Every structure is written in structure tokens, then in C-alpha cells.
Chain A
Amino acid sequence: MYYYRGFGLIIASQIMLPELLPYTLTSTPDVHISIGKTPEKLTAAGTVHKVGYAINPNEYLLQFLNVANYYAANGNNIIVEPLAGSDEKSVRLFLLTGVMAAILHQRNAVALNAAAIKHLDGVVLFCGYAGSGKSAMLTKFIQNGYKPFCDDVCLIQHNDVKAMAAYPTIKNWENTFTGMGLPIPSTDNKIRPNLPKYATYFHDEFDTDALPVKTIFIIHKDHIAKSVEIKKLAGIEAFAEVHNNVYHRLQIYPMKKEAIHFQAISKLVANINVYQVTRSSNTGFDELFQTIQKHL
């Protein structure tokens, strides 16, 4: 059995998860990950069946082609059934994304799809849809001397305006490294064998404490934008933009977690600055970095 800290939880896993922070067990694990046979389908009342997955307030079943089947239940139990011919990296990748998102939602956590840096006594978050440049901005800030806080997932505390990092791994496309003049990591760091996206790790710098959220930048890519535009958001507009970036947001509706997210995000946006940053497809990382840095 392997033990880790990740997603603000103590995780006991039969699967090695190098993306997470190793942990010497001193308390009861919050989540157990085992290898085994998953249910063929979910039958509980209220189950919503979609394409390749099913979900209800307490259970989540993902059946992903020839990679693996995953079952997450009650916020503390995951069964992984790797399928014949699948590779470990792919099995881990989908475990640590949608399946862990389901566990977090089952536990009433509020998680944002965000990268973040440390700044002053707190953290600054970068949100935006896939491909908007969140991880690239995190990497650009690191290149300019800032410390990483997290990539991909950031947990928002319910009772104060603080965030907790999920795990010490940053995932970037190959062209991000080349675009920033950084060496492309080893093939061993690919997050899937045939995907040009690489993991880099910051285990030694990983902060497991919750830190105050200072600012959130929502990055949009817009083909018709002529330059980088930045706009401060307030009220319902800020709420909507942040809410759109809830991690695997569509899980919260069949799980009936809307109220929890409404309260937590309302409190968050009322106490911090939220900016919308719109960039064109041609905007360079330097220009985007400089615009955001001015508004930290």
C-alpha cells in the first residue's frame, strides 16, 4: 500500500501515484484506492447516465474505453479496474482527474480548475477552460521567480477565503516549453505515452497549508481579440466566471451540491479581486505575464 497527501486528503492507494506527495501514515486515511472489479452499472435512484459514465449523489462510475473502469463512492472509496493493454500513466491520469473530482464533490469539497502561484502571504489563481493557458502562466511566473502553489486543482475552504493545493505536479504541452525557451522534459514525464504533454514536479516546494486567496484571473482565448484585455469583475459576473471553473462542474448537479458551491464561491468573490483576461491566439506568454503581473 502507498500513502499520499493529495487533494487535501490522506490517501491510501494500491496504485503508485508519483504525482502526489508521499506521506508517512500517522492518521487514518481519508480515501482508499484499490484495484478490483467495478460495478457494471449504477442502479440507485437518482442515477444520471451519460456517455461512458453514471453518477448519483453517492456514487460515480466511469468506464473509459480500453483504459480502465473506475468506481468512486461515499467520498472515501475508489475501485480501479485497469483494462487489458492499458498503460499505468493513462490509468492514473483519469483517476486523478474526473474520479478524484467525484470524491471531492462527494465530500462536499469546493474545487476549482485552477493553477496558482504564491504571492505575498497568499495565492493568486489562474482559471480558464482547457487550452486557455493556466498552466503556461503558472510556468511563466515560476520562470520569473515566483513559487508554485498548484496546477489543475485548487480547493477552496468553506469558512474562510483560503485555498489548498491538490498536488505538486504541473502539466504542460510541449509547445509551452519550446515557447518559453525551456528544455522539453524526458519522455518519461509524458502524462500519457502518446500525448505531447509533460509533468514536472515540485514536491520539495509543495505547501500543504491553506493560504489566503488574493486574486483570481480568468483567462479567455478569443480569436478576434486584438491584444490582451483585462477587466475587473464584480458581483454576479465575478460569481458566474468563477463558478464556471468549478472542477468537473457538471458533476455537482446530479450530486446536488449546488448550494455548497453557491455559498463558498459567493463568499470568495466578495472578498477578493476577480479579473477577466482576454487574449488572442497570437498573444505571447510574455505579454500575458506582464499584463497579469501588473494587477497582482
Chain B
Amino acid sequence: MESDKKIVWLASYPKSGNTWFRAFITALLNNGEVDINNLATDGIFSSRRLFNEQTDLESNLLYDEEAKQMQGNVFNHICAKAKQRHLFVKIHDAYTYNSDNLPVIPTQNTLCAIYIIRNPLDIAGSLANHKDDTLDDSIDFMNNKQSVFGKQEDEVNTSLQFRQPLLDWSGHVNSWTAKLPFPVMVIRYEDMLADAFETFKQALLFMGIKTDKQQLETAIAASSFEQLKQKETDYGFKERIRNTSFFRSGKAGNWKNELTSQQVSAITSQHQNTMAKYGYI
């Protein structure tokens, strides 16, 4: 039944504007109030806590492949019990398949996905800051087709999140923009910056959420980059994984101040087709 489809995947490669989008949704649902440490969206796909609650298993005792076989059912179950019209679930995993050749991400209860894309040249600096890595390490990570977010050394499972396969940057984008069994809207981070009103308005229309101009403007103002950065300064941000600021510059085109020509080349040479498709070169 169409009404059973509630999950809206808020999907992106890391450091591409996902938190901003979730803050916007939060502001919209909360009449302009945003607590960055308690966003009103419905968790992250890779959450071990949500998994443990639905399965009664201690997920750190599972092999990753076992978890990948069950994560979809966990979210189908959460969706079946949910009272609200939409479940907004953050996800950084690429759209991949488990050992049974089934999508890791559940399709049965998925309404649609918003895929937020950002210029990989800008992601490099932001990711380096987030992971407390060098720019070269971040670029290597973005170029590695085996990259995994949340992977621990020696396959230890003490992280609060499951491993999230990312592929390389192009692989991630292409996995979510291939023909999937549910509608996907691609939003460019740079368009969120350049024309927030129109971009968020189109996203809401796509998700089937009705709002008026005043609500939209209030939500956009409450979730602006400056507001979020100030809240991180004042209250901290639990999604930060290192003692570096999560909200850094937020600008488009900052790569021109950060990357050497060799670093630019390392990214553009590997991701040329996908970057061209989305207007980044």
C-alpha cells in the first residue's frame, strides 16, 4: 500500500550538506526551533542502537555481513510501527547489495530519497577537517573504491555505528542516481547555498510536504549555516567525531584556497564524468 511507504532517505556522501538538510527539516517540523544535538529527523541507517532495539541482538557480536542482511528489515519494522507520515532517515552508505544480492537499504517502505551532492573538490577539505586527516589522505579516501565510513581497526565493533560502504565519490553518486526502485531527487549543495528558498521548496514538493512561504522562510533562517555553527560553538555537537569544528566554512568554491593543482587533478581525473554531469567541471 502506498501509505505504508514512509521512509525518506536523506542520502549523501559525508560532508555534503546532510546535516544542514536535516536541520532544515527539524526547523520546519519544530516551528523554527533547531537543537543540533536533538534533530527531529529519525536517526541514521547505520545506528547500532536502532538495530539492537529492533532485534534484541548485541550488534557488536555480529559479523558485518550479518548486519547487512538485517538492517533493511530493521527499518521496515520501524516504518511499520511509525505513526508519522514521513520517516526522515540519514544515510551515508552507498546503495549496495548484500550477500543475498538484495539491496541493503529496504525498498518496501521507501517513499523516496533526497540525494545531496556537493563538489568533491570542496568535500576534500571538509572531510580532512572532519576526520582530522591530511588533504592527501582525504583525497585518497574519496578515490578509493573500497572506502568505508565508520570502519574500525582490526574489525573491532565498538563504534556506535555499523560500517558504511561508500565506494569512491563517483561510485557513491552513481549508486544513488542509478535507476532505483523508488524516486530519487538530486539536490546540489551549491544550489542550497545559492537559492535556498527555491531548492528547499522543490525538495518539499518532491517529498509531498505542504508548507507556506512563511514557514519555509522561517525554517531556512533557523537552519542557516551561521546559526548551526554558532550552536556548535555554544553547545557542542555530538556528531562531531574529533575535536575539530564540524561546521567549518560552508562555502562553495573554497577548494581554490585549499588544494594544490596536483590535488585538484587527483580528484578531477578520477571523477571527471560524474563531476561534469553535475556541473562541477
Contacts and interface: CB of A to CB of B under 8 A. Distances in A.
Partners in one complex: yes
Interface of A: 50-53, 55, 62, 64-65, 93-94, 97-98, 129-131, 173-175, 191-192, 194-197, 222-224, 226, 248, 250-251, 281
Contacts of B242: 223
Contacts of A222: 238
Contacts of B77: 50-51
Contacts of B198: none
A51 B238 contact: no
12 contacts: A52-B70, A55-B56, A65-B69, A98-B57, A130-B60, A130-B157, A131-B60, A173-B156, A175-B154, A194-B63, A222-B238, A223-B242
Interface stretch (B47-55, B86-94, B204-212): B47-55
B158 A224 contact: no
Nearest to B53: A250
A196 B156 contact: yes
Contact of B55 (A53, A93, A130, A197): A53
B52 to A, nearest CB: 8
A285 to B, nearest CB: 13
B63 A195 contact: yes
B63 A251 contact: no
B237 interface: yes
B74 interface: yes
A130 B66 contact: no
Contact of B154 (A55, A174, A223): A174
Contacts, number: 83
Contacts of B240: 223-224
Contacts of B29: none
Contact of A62 (B54, B56, B159, B236): B56
A261 B153 CA distance: 38
B60 A93 contact: no
Contacts of A173: 154, 156-158
Contacts of B241: 223, 281
Nearest to A171: B61
Contact of B156 (A65, A175, A192): A175
Nearest to A102: B56
A153 B74 CA distance: 26
A50 B55 contact: yes
A292 to B, nearest CB: 19
Contacts of B70: 51-52, 65
Contacts of A97: 58, 61
B46 to A, nearest CB: 14
Contacts of A52: 55-57, 70, 73
A192 B157 CA distance: 13
A281 B241 CA distance: 9
A51 B156 contact: no
B192 to A, nearest CB: 26
Question: How big is chain B's contact interface, by range?
Answer: 20 to 34
B54 A131 contact: no
A130 B51 CA distance: 13
Contacts of B157: 130-131, 173, 195, 197
B263 to A, nearest CB: 28
Given A197-B156, A224-B240, A250-B53, 17 more contacts: A50-B56, A52-B55, A55-B56, A94-B57, A94-B61, A97-B58, A98-B56, A130-B58, A131-B60, A131-B159, A175-B153, A175-B154, A175-B156, A192-B61, A197-B61, A222-B238, A251-B56
B180 interface: no
Contacts of A98: 56-58
A196 B155 contact: yes
B54 A51 contact: yes
B160 interface: yes
B101 interface: no
B243 interface: yes
A189 to B, nearest CB: 15
Given A50-B55, A250-B53, A65 B66 contact: yes
Contact of A224 (B55, B56, B237): B237
Contacts of A223: 238, 240-242
Nearest to A131: B158
Contacts of A55: 56
B163 to A, nearest CB: 14
A275 to B, nearest CB: 21
A160 B155 CA distance: 42
Contacts of A281: 241
